[in-house]
């Protein structure tokens, strides 16, 4: 059972439908107590970092996620803002603390090519590290759909699972133990995205 967290800022419907397309059983987790019954967790997100963290704290999800993911070892997939929330802090419209699962800062895109607009909206190829199960069956240079103005800048490069080029190297995915997250939207990335979701369902970290 895949539990998708609903904290008021996620693209819940499209994420849920993508998992259903690959035959996964899905439930929406409206409260922290719902996380205990699922095998895997998805933290989606669209919007601003501060609002994301405020909503997660207000709903009681922060403590529950620490218990289920950090202590309990349940696999989790963060998507877009859900990935950024896993950083130590964000500099989006100020400085705000995140979950702190990655020693990383969330910073604004600053492409060297001034012709590239911020936010990055659309398809971009990614380069991923070999041997990561979440990318099994995907070829180097597979393209995924991005919509973001900020990205996670990791201090530990071992946590960087994939990058893309957007006027400079941008973190496209991160991994750490049972935690995996993508800056791109697999649920909007057609066949490649569905393959990644299948890999997440089968992942045994």
pLDDT in tens, 165-205: 999 999 999 999 999 999 999 999 999 999 999 999 999 99
52 is known as an active-site residue = no
Look at residue 73 and tell me whether its pLDDT is greater than 80.
yes
Task: Render pLDDT for 117-176 as a digit per residue (tens, 0 to 9).
Answer: 999 999 999 999 889 999 999 998 999 999 999 999 999 999 999 999 999 999 999 999
Q: Name the pTM for this structure.
A: 0.96
Give, as one character, the DSSP assignment of residue 93.
T
The catalytic residue among 52, 92, 154, 185 is 185
Q: What is the dihedral of CA 17, 21, 26, 30, to 10 degrees?
A: -10
185 is known as an active-site residue = yes
The catalytic residue among 29, 52, 80, 154 is 80
**Domain 2-202 CATH assignment equals 3.40.50.300:** no
What is the model's pLDDT at position 9?
Answer: 86
Q: End-to-end distance of the chain based on CA atoms, in angstroms?
A: 16
Task: Dump strand ranges (E) for 80-198.
Answer: 87-90, 96-97, 102-108, 120-128, 143-148, 150-154, 160-165, 169-176, 179-182
148 is known as an active-site residue = no
Across the range 19-27, mean pLDDT stands at 97
Pair of tokens at residue 85: 């929330």
Q: What is the overall mean pLDDT for the chain? A: 96
Pair of tokens at residue 8: 């008021």
What is the model's pLDDT at position 137?
Answer: 96
Q: Are 163 and 153 in contact (CB under 8 A)?
A: no
Look at residue 11 and tell me whether its pLDDT is greater than 90.
no
């Amino acid at each position: 059972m895949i539990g998708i967290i609903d904290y008021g800022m996620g693209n819940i419907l499209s994420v849920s439908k993508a998992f259903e397309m690959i035959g996964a059983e899905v439930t929406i987790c409206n409260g922290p107590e719902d996380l205990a019954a699922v095998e895997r967790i998805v933290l989606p997100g669209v919007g601003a970092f501060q609002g994301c963290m405020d909503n997660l704290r207000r709903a009681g999800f922060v403590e529950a996620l620490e218990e289920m993911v950090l202590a309990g070892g349940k696999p989790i997939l963060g998507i877009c803002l859900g990935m950024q929330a896993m950083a130590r802090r964000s500099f989006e419209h100020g400085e705000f603390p995140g979950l702190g699962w990655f020693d990383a800062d969330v910073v604004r895109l600053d492409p060297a090519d001034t012709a590239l607009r911020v936010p990055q909206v659309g398809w971009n190829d990614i380069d991923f590290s070999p041997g990561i199960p979440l990318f099994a069956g995907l070829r180097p240079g597979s393209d995924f759909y991005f919509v973001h103005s900020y990205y996670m800048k990791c201090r530990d490069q071992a946590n960087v699972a994939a990058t893309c080029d957007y006027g400079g190297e941008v973190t496209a995915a991160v991994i750490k133990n049972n935690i995996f997250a993508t800056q791109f939207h697999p649920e909007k990335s057609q066949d490649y995205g569905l393959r990644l979701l299948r890999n997440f369902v089968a992942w045994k970290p």
